[in-house]
Structure 1
Amino acid sequence: MLDILLIVLPVFVIVGLGYIASRLGLLKDGDVDVLLKFCTGIAIPCLLFSGVARLDLADNFKAGPLISFYGGGLVAFGVGYLGARRIFGRRPGEAVAVAFCALFSNSLLLGIPVTERAYGTEALSANFAILSIHAPFIYFVGIVAMEFARADGRSAAATAKATARMMFRNSLTIGIAIGMAVNLTGLPLPDPVFEGVQTLGRGGIPVALFALGGAMTRYRLQDGIGEAAFAAALSLLLHPLIAFLAGHYGFGIEDRFLRSAVVTAAMPPGINAYLFAVMYQRATGVAAATVLLATMFSVVTASGWLALLHVTAP
């Protein structure tokens, strides 16, 4: 188990260093925003582009892994919504914001480096297949659910327009779309150009982890700790459990797909889960607490899932 923990720990050490630097004032609030803007606007889209542009689509786009991962996410979302409504007495819109935390795994900033450290760079192909539809799928579910749940929700046409607008303005989605276009058309890219973009993308991961740690200082464990723990448990335990059971026993998917699906599902909700709550001004305190709490506990839970995969998908 110690060997497994040593795989995960360096990733979270970088997050911790960012947190400490921010607490000590070495990293100002504006600095965090600049780093995050660089990562989400430039570096990570480059990583997604390079990962998708030369991805073997026929070999990596399989129904089993995608259904296992996204089916697990939808189950976690549904349980999160019902729990927020029935157990914690939240209003419909607030319940959607809580459920969104259970659905949104930090597949990029944490899922990529943890998978790479555990299984090597060649294992990331299955991750990129999942990531290629992650943002569109997650936001489609969240926005549609929120618009139907809240009393002042928009019409179906307006909801569809808002969802499409968010997708096409999202730099991560744009990076994936351009990479997919290059892949499907077979457009030749000179190796120096591709390698430069790829290097920029890979360099963005440690910067993003450091910035993520700095951003964690903005969140507090305030009211709604019980709800935050509930949403964190769904994200860290239920989502990967469903992905594992469906992938291993239901679809019998290859080990490499199972590892990517479960590890990605086991990641805590990212900052965007909090930003989604802020966008609609619903359960923002719970969302912030969930992001912080889940990120803290994911060091242990992610190690547990890697230990299970070491036995079932060596």
Structure 2
Amino acid sequence: MTWDLAFKLLALFAMIAIGWIATRRGMLGGAEGQRALAGVGFGIFLPALLFRTMAVLDLSSLPVQLLLAFFGPLVLWALAVWCWERRRAAAHDDPQGHPADPAVRTVALTFGNSVQVGLPFAAALFGEAGLQLHLAIVALHALVILSLITLLAEIDLARAAARRGAGAPLGPLLLGIARQSLLHPVVLPVLLGMAWQLAGLRLHPVADNMLQTLGQAGVPLCLILIGASLAQHGLSADPRALIGRSLLKLLVLPALVASLGWFVFGLRGLPLSVLVMAAALPIGSNALLFAQRYRTREGEASAVIVVSTLLFAFSAPLWLLVLAWLS
């Protein structure tokens, strides 16, 4: 790992530290203040980023095979993790558990930090050609993963509500899931941006600059909120569980992507390297926003983000050695 990449990681930890200090000094207004900031991030900054990404995306220029080789395994992984977490929750039958817990943990084990860490990493290691491939992944990353796991969370919430209502009919249950999913601040801007793109419309420069600025504001806010959550909850989860979950994201998921990319999609060289390193990135800060959206597992989400980012300094060179051997 180069010094430039190490400095990028240190900058991330510095912004997390700012959030921790600000919370300790009472500058963020306690738990409700943090939830308000998370609401701004999830309700304004993230929708602006998603809508603009979809509205300006040139679908015809995307490397379809590369994207299938990346998102296919990620979708399968997300569904497998969600099913596993649901089975664990049912087996433990925790009355304090939240219906969205399986989806929140699925985000943490699937969603990588493709921007703050991924962009400088791809640029430094793979040059302009690799960066362009990574940018294609970034363009669809939040759209695909967050939309899918949002749907899974809303399914679990609707099922829990139906059980409390002594078994609501299937029709109203499905309509409720569809309505909550479509009006969700992740899914709705994606659909609107897609409609904008398909209609052949262009964003006015004023609107484009506004949406771009709002989207960029979400990055430092997420890092500040991670530090704030750590100050409030600490490393509340079992350290062994945090390390285990981090290693699933840093080692097992990229191994799945590498295997399918090599054997199923026939990728070699630069495309395979970009694909694997994108899957091997540490957990992204949107995992905390997702947890705060559903008001569950905030402390666990912030802790596993920090732990996975620390461990990435050791797992990244390992994957680079594997890719060098494959090539």
Q: Could you say whether these structures have the same fold, taking a TM-score greater than 0.5 normalized by the shorter chain as the test?
A: yes
Question: Is residue 128 of structure 2 the alignment partner of residue 114 of structure 1?
Answer: no
CA distance in structure 2 between the partners assigned to 1:147 and 1:128 by the alignment: 30
Listed as ranges, the matches of 1:298-313 within 5 Å are 298-311=308-321, 312=323
Per the TM alignment, residue 229 of structure 1 is displaced from its structure 2 partner at its CA by 6.1
For residues 104-154 of structure 1, the C-alpha deviation after alignment (integer angstroms, 9 at most, x for no partner) is 139889442222232257533312213223333102223335655785465
Alignment correspondent of 1:262: 279
State the AA in 2 paired with 1:302: F
Alignment correspondent of 2:201: 187
Query: 8 Å contact 1:11–1:209 — kept in the other structure?
Result: yes
Listed as ranges, the matches of 1:123-142 within 5 Å are 123-142=134-153
State the AA in 1 paired with 2:107: F
Per the TM alignment, residue 264 of structure 1 is displaced from its structure 2 partner at its CA by 6.0
CA distance in structure 2 between the partners assigned to 1:48 and 1:260 by the alignment: 23
Structure whose CA Rg is larger: 2
Listed as ranges, the matches of 1:125-204 within 5 Å are 125-145=136-156, 151-152=163-164, 154-204=168-218
RMSD between superposed Cα atoms in Å: 3.8
For normalisation by structure 2, the TM-score amounts to 0.74
CA distance in structure 1 between the partners assigned to 2:209 and 2:306 by the alignment: 34
Greater shift in the superposed pair: 239-248 or 162-171: 239-248
Query: 8 Å contact 1:47–1:202 — kept in the other structure?
Result: yes
Per the TM alignment, residue 174 of structure 1 is displaced from its structure 2 partner at its CA by 2.7
Listed as ranges, the matches of 1:208-223 within 5 Å are 208-222=222-236
Per the TM alignment, residue 294 of structure 1 is displaced from its structure 2 partner at its CA by 0.7
Distance 1:43 1:148, change over 3 A: closer
Alignment correspondent of 1:281: none
CA distance in structure 2 between the partners assigned to 1:94 and 1:307 by the alignment: 38
2:28 is paired with a residue whose SS is coil
For residues 204-241 of structure 1, the C-alpha deviation after alignment (integer angstroms, 9 at most, x for no partner) is 32133223322443435557777666655545554444
CA distance in structure 2 between the partners assigned to 1:125 and 1:249 by the alignment: 22
State the AA in 2 paired with 1:246: L
Distance 1:78 1:41, change over 3 A: closer
For residues 11-69 of structure 1, the C-alpha deviation after alignment (integer angstroms, 9 at most, x for no partner) is 23212211221112233235434433332222222222222222232315542221121
Per the TM alignment, residue 163 of structure 1 is displaced from its structure 2 partner at its CA by 2.4
Query: 8 Å contact 1:102–1:235 — kept in the other structure?
Result: no
Per the TM alignment, residue 93 of structure 1 is displaced from its structure 2 partner at its CA by 9.6
CA distance in structure 1 between the partners assigned to 2:175 and 2:96 by the alignment: 19
Q: In percent, how many aligned pairs have the same letter?
A: 20
Per the TM alignment, residue 96 of structure 1 is displaced from its structure 2 partner at its CA by 6.4
Question: Is residue 77 of structure 2 the alignment partner of residue 76 of structure 1?
Answer: no
**Aligned to 1:273, which of 291, 304, 308?**
291
CA distance in structure 1 between the partners assigned to 2:101 and 2:40 by the alignment: 28
Alignment correspondent of 1:42: 44
- Structure 1 stretches of 5 or more lacking a match? 279-283
CA distance in structure 1 between the partners assigned to 2:90 and 2:242 by the alignment: 14
Alignment correspondent of 2:24: 23
Distance 1:37 1:14, change over 3 A: same
- Structure 2 stretches of 5 or more lacking a match? 124-130
CA distance in structure 2 between the partners assigned to 1:7 and 1:228 by the alignment: 23
Query: 8 Å contact 1:263–1:306 — kept in the other structure?
Result: yes
For residues 230-260 of structure 1, the C-alpha deviation after alignment (integer angstroms, 9 at most, x for no partner) is 6555455544443343334443453476157
Query: 8 Å contact 2:34–2:228 — kept in the other structure?
Result: yes
Per the TM alignment, residue 187 of structure 1 is displaced from its structure 2 partner at its CA by 0.6
Query: 8 Å contact 2:23–2:228 — kept in the other structure?
Result: yes
**Aligned to 1:291, which of 282, 301, 311?**
301
Per the TM alignment, residue 275 of structure 1 is displaced from its structure 2 partner at its CA by 4.6
State the AA in 2 paired with 1:64: A
* Count of residue pairs the alignment pairs up: 304
